[in-house]
Structure 1
Amino acid sequence: MTDKDLIDIQEIAPAEVAELDLYQRREKIYTRRIEGFFQRLRLFTGWPLLIGYFLLPWLQWEGRQAVLFDLPERKFHILGLTFWPQDFPLLAFLLIIAAFALFAVTVWAGRLWCGYTCPQTVWTSIFMWLEQRTEGSRNQRMRLDQAPWTLRKLTRKLIKHGAWLAVAFATGVTFVGYFYPMRELLPDLLTFSSGKWALLWTLFFTLATYINAGWMREQVCIYMCPYARFQSVMFDQDTLIVSYDPGRGEPRGSRKRDIDHRARGLGDCIDCKLCVQVCPTGIDIREGLQYECIGCALCIDACNSVMDKMDYPRGLIRYTSEHELQGGKTRWLRPRIIGYLLMLCLMIGLFSYRVTSRVPLELTVIRDRSELYVETADGQIENIYTLSLVNMDESVHEFELSVSGIADATLIGERLHRLDGGEVRSITLRVQAAPEQLSKPSTAIEFQARATDAESLRTVSESRFMRPL
């Protein structure tokens, strides 16, 4: 091969290609306060969440806290139901249902959860409102941050952060109150007698709320929340999203209210940038769909207020779909949505049946493995078992134990046991059977526990009975 055979390769990069940092330095976003239909609608989604979150730990149900996850006792009280660690499959089932519900809503209407009911959005809105009340409007906050430190600036900052810490502390105490009885937690914290773990967890969640809602804000949605990343997989051209209509708005430009902007070749967008100023994640919705958009509709209310002042029709920025923006119609019922809804209904039905048919009783049988069997003096075969009986009900019950699977098998030991609500008892029993009734070296048997005062409260557990080979 000679030099003439070599091809001179030069690296040519398009002019628009540039280095992009996966994590860029945060620039503080100064949001502008706006009123409108969707912001009033957010009150009916955010306030129920807040009221329920702060109120539930204070409610009482039959002499105990209505919602309490009692980790030391391994009991999880939810209104009139008490769940145990053995019921964790129900929790997994519930999480799967929640995931399918989120997927169905996302396919249909985009990030409604993020914009209206996500705790990060709700608590951030509270912190932003406190910031506006203490430091003023958007322009006032920008001037305050640029001004040198004075007593006035220091006072405003201290008031703001004090209000943030108060809300964060209330949030942290309430969260810990779901695991530590609230009516005991608050007095114990105030008198420093709660113990180190309750205090540490309260401080941890206080600090987490203060940082996430006060300082990080949109950073949580953009970089920490995985939902922002995989939402695009579930979107299609009929998904309802917050969108700017470029066919109607372009070309954008400023103008006077009383001129004919169409005659001058202008669209409806006056380029006021109000939609950017109200966005909590700092994006320009006019640049198209972006993963940072949380669907809060603040830009819709801002744009509608400008359209009203200009006497233009509303809806330059609106909830719409790609199909509708391209001149088509949105298909509301699609195979993906129908599939999600059918699966969701099926899982909710199965979960409801499982909860309503749940028996608050558990029986676990462990056969003595140190000695497979015992031969008695009269030729009978005995196996020894340890039974763990758990009364997961809140009431006292008397339980009768029995065994089946081998004809004429005898259960030797105490068969009646009275257990308090939530009591766990370990019971050692022997099962005796005649050799002629055992056709195989290992025979399946069933132990049954039945409440003598409640016919529906019964359960069974399988084990094996061994004989000589």
Structure 2
Amino acid sequence: MSEPDLINVQEIAPAEVAELDLYQKREKIYTRKIEGFYQRLRMFTGWPMLLGYYCIPWININGRQAVWFDLPEREFHILGITFWPQDFSLLAFLLIIAAFLLFAITVSAGRIWCGYTCPQTVWTSMFMWVEQKVEGTRNQRIKLDKQPWSMNKLARKLTKHGAWLFIAFMTGMTFVGYFYPVRELVYELATAETGKWPLLWTVFFTLATYTNAGWMREQVCKYMCPYARFQSVMFDADTLIVSYDSGRGEPRGSRKKSLDHQEAGLGDCIDCELCVQVCPTGIDIRDGLQYECIGCALCIDACDSVMRKMDYEPGLVRYTSERELEGGKTHWLRPRIIGYIVMLCLMVGVFSYNIASRIPLELTVIRDRNNLYVETADGGIENIYRLHIVNMDTSPHQYMLSISGIDGAQIKGDKSYKLDASEDREITLRVAAEASALTLPSTAFRFEILAQDMPSIRASTESRFMKPL
């Protein structure tokens, strides 16, 4: 019997394990102010949103706030139309439309929403503007933070944070004003008579705005916003993104304006890092597409300003697509875009039809189950019903109630009811019918109610009429 082969085993020392810090301390980003086409364009997208946000609660339509989400009364007043919890499906449908619109924009134009109209971007830009006005340019702010504390530094810091808190307070108060009458809220806050919950939510949203736009800034976009994470799934080779043309810019290097850089073997990028200094998230666009990029195009304005000074052609950093960078041509109308457009048109059409055909009236009928029926002295049968009528319109109406489906059946009691705007009322009534008109122990019939001054506002519901077996 032969001996088995022996395996030579050597003892191997474990490799040195390096400690990896999964969380790095944030390095403060000092953004540089830049002027340019896209910076001016952001003014036309950000300011209308700010004006609309702060002004809409102060606009009245039919004696009520233009937008007011009255949670205690479960009424949602939006531009003269009152929505109720029964209309929640419309809200869900509207959110789906908004999501599809965002996806369609992302597929075609990248993170345009983030760079121009996202509230985090708009409020952060406003806070950064205040910081630049109070503390100075980028280099002045860096020097100020490195200086020891002095009266000048303390005054500048207090002024900046005071302005931030004022903007944050106005933002928080306005947000609460969408859920609480804003005129009452301002008066109560000014006289220190506000209730516990309005005050608590005003303070909460004030601190949230102050923290997110003043302190966290790019951290919200990089680590908290989920949109930055799943946007890459929607990108394709034809998606419009902010990109650096490495084929034209490399090899980068500093040079004099008089130097013929092409003969010297240099690209158009002079490595000034101005594109990095203006970036609100602190990235270098020359490193390629990164999820931190919000598509604000500040680096485009910065690079174009340098190119014009160097007498080079602008567009070294520009809005383009991966296909165009590789020498191809961007395909704007592609199957994904066409699919999104078709779906959006269909959904907007269905939503608009539902809004236009919406009846601002609801009728609910519940039959009294304690007494299935009541036999009267003249041989008739009566059933008791509880009706819940909701006038979801913004105007009062006189309603007339009727029944159909049982020959000779009558409503015992008042058939006409006046309901004020947004009023709901419960009514108990009797319905009487002759026993000879009932062929089954349970007969289906309908309640119908309509507005006498506007017959198009009507609602109906089915119920059952019981008789002895």
What TM-score do the two structures reach when normalised by structure 2? 0.93
Deviation at 1:90, TM superposition (A): 1.7
**Residue 214 of structure 1 aligns with which residue?**
214
Distance in structure 2 (CA, Å) of the matches to 1:39 and 1:293? 16
Going from structure 1 to structure 2, the CA distance change for 1:20 and 1:322 (only over 3 Å counts) comes to farther
**Residue 318 of structure 1 aligns with which residue?**
318
Distance in structure 2 (CA, Å) of the matches to 1:131 and 1:375? 82
Deviation at 1:172, TM superposition (A): 1.2
Aligned-partner residue type, residue 432 of structure 2: Q
Deviation at 1:46, TM superposition (A): 0.4
Going from structure 1 to structure 2, the CA distance change for 1:446 and 1:25 (only over 3 Å counts) comes to farther
SS where residue 33 of structure 2 aligns? coil
**Residue 68 of structure 2 aligns with which residue?**
68
Deviation at 1:69, TM superposition (A): 2.1
Q: Does 1:453 align with 2:442?
A: no
User: 8 Å contact 2:80–2:394 — kept in the other structure?
Assistant: no
Deviations 1:256-275 (A, max 9, x none): 21112122222111111111
1:255-266 → structure 2 map (5 Å cutoff): 255-266=255-266
**Residue 272 of structure 1 aligns with which residue?**
272
Aligned-partner residue type, residue 366 of structure 2: I
Q: Does 1:41 align with 2:41?
A: yes
Distance in structure 2 (CA, Å) of the matches to 1:443 and 1:148? 89
Distance in structure 1 (CA, Å) of the matches to 2:235 and 2:21? 25
**Residue 291 of structure 1 aligns with which residue?**
291
Deviations 1:449-469 (A, max 9, x none): 111221111111233334456
Distance in structure 2 (CA, Å) of the matches to 1:362 and 1:298? 53
RMSD: 2.5
Q: Does 1:144 align with 2:144?
A: yes
**Residue 188 of structure 2 aligns with which residue?**
188
**Residue 199 of structure 2 aligns with which residue?**
199
Deviation at 1:441, TM superposition (A): 4.9
User: 8 Å contact 1:251–1:265 — kept in the other structure?
Assistant: yes
Distance in structure 2 (CA, Å) of the matches to 1:139 and 1:329? 41
Deviation at 1:18, TM superposition (A): 9.2
User: Which 10-residue stretch deviates more, 62-71 or 358-367?
Assistant: 62-71
Deviation at 1:165, TM superposition (A): 0.5
Distance in structure 1 (CA, Å) of the matches to 2:405 and 2:115? 59
Deviation at 1:129, TM superposition (A): 0.6
User: 8 Å contact 1:413–1:428 — kept in the other structure?
Assistant: no
Distance in structure 2 (CA, Å) of the matches to 1:227 and 1:252? 33
Distance in structure 1 (CA, Å) of the matches to 2:164 and 2:219? 18
Distance in structure 2 (CA, Å) of the matches to 1:18 and 1:245? 37
Aligned-partner residue type, residue 58 of structure 1: W
Deviation at 1:217, TM superposition (A): 0.5
Q: Does 1:231 align with 2:231?
A: yes
Distance in structure 2 (CA, Å) of the matches to 1:248 and 1:130? 37
Distance in structure 2 (CA, Å) of the matches to 1:161 and 1:330? 46
User: Which 10-residue stretch deviates more, 422-431 or 435-444?
Assistant: 435-444
SS where residue 294 of structure 2 aligns? coil
Structure 2: stretches of 5+ with no match in the other structure: none
User: 8 Å contact 2:242–2:320 — kept in the other structure?
Assistant: yes
Deviation at 1:163, TM superposition (A): 0.7
SS where residue 233 of structure 1 aligns? helix
Going from structure 1 to structure 2, the CA distance change for 1:320 and 1:4 (only over 3 Å counts) comes to farther
Deviation at 1:436, TM superposition (A): 5.6
Going from structure 1 to structure 2, the CA distance change for 1:305 and 1:429 (only over 3 Å counts) comes to same
1:341-380 → structure 2 map (5 Å cutoff): 341-377=341-377, 380=380
**Residue 162 of structure 1 aligns with which residue?**
162
**Residue 337 of structure 1 aligns with which residue?**
337
Deviation at 1:280, TM superposition (A): 0.5
Deviation at 1:168, TM superposition (A): 0.6
Distance in structure 2 (CA, Å) of the matches to 1:438 and 1:252? 94
Going from structure 1 to structure 2, the CA distance change for 1:104 and 1:10 (only over 3 Å counts) comes to farther
Structure 1: stretches of 5+ with no match in the other structure: none
Distance in structure 1 (CA, Å) of the matches to 2:43 and 2:338? 30
What TM-score do the two structures reach when normalised by structure 1? 0.93
User: Which 10-residue stretch deviates more, 400-409 or 131-140?
Assistant: 400-409
Deviation at 1:281, TM superposition (A): 0.7
**Residue 424 of structure 1 aligns with which residue?**
424
Distance in structure 2 (CA, Å) of the matches to 1:385 and 1:392? 22
Distance in structure 1 (CA, Å) of the matches to 2:117 and 2:86? 31
User: 8 Å contact 1:250–1:266 — kept in the other structure?
Assistant: yes
Going from structure 1 to structure 2, the CA distance change for 1:5 and 1:117 (only over 3 Å counts) comes to same
SS where residue 315 of structure 2 aligns? coil
User: 8 Å contact 2:81–2:394 — kept in the other structure?
Assistant: no
Distance in structure 1 (CA, Å) of the matches to 2:355 and 2:20? 54
**Residue 253 of structure 1 aligns with which residue?**
253
SS where residue 333 of structure 1 aligns? coil
SS where residue 398 of structure 2 aligns? strand
Going from structure 1 to structure 2, the CA distance change for 1:128 and 1:3 (only over 3 Å counts) comes to farther
Aligned-partner residue type, residue 312 of structure 1: Y
Distance in structure 1 (CA, Å) of the matches to 2:13 and 2:379? 92
**Residue 94 of structure 2 aligns with which residue?**
94
Aligned-partner residue type, residue 164 of structure 2: W
Distance in structure 2 (CA, Å) of the matches to 1:444 and 1:244? 72
Aligned-partner residue type, residue 297 of structure 1: A
Distance in structure 2 (CA, Å) of the matches to 1:451 and 1:420? 12
User: 8 Å contact 2:373–2:384 — kept in the other structure?
Assistant: yes
Deviation at 1:77, TM superposition (A): 2.2
Deviation at 1:236, TM superposition (A): 0.8
**Percentage of identical aligned residues:** 70
User: 8 Å contact 1:279–1:298 — kept in the other structure?
Assistant: yes
Distance in structure 1 (CA, Å) of the matches to 2:339 and 2:182? 42
Aligned-partner residue type, residue 349 of structure 1: G
Distance in structure 2 (CA, Å) of the matches to 1:24 and 1:142? 21
SS where residue 390 of structure 2 aligns? strand
**Residue 107 of structure 1 aligns with which residue?**
107
Distance in structure 2 (CA, Å) of the matches to 1:34 and 1:3? 75
User: 8 Å contact 2:382–2:431 — kept in the other structure?
Assistant: yes
Aligned-partner residue type, residue 310 of structure 2: M
Aligned-partner residue type, residue 193 of structure 1: E
SS where residue 337 of structure 1 aligns? helix
User: 8 Å contact 1:252–1:268 — kept in the other structure?
Assistant: yes
Aligned-partner residue type, residue 464 of structure 2: R
Aligned-partner residue type, residue 79 of structure 2: L
Deviations 1:149-174 (A, max 9, x none): 12211111111101101111111111
Distance in structure 2 (CA, Å) of the matches to 1:454 and 1:4? 100
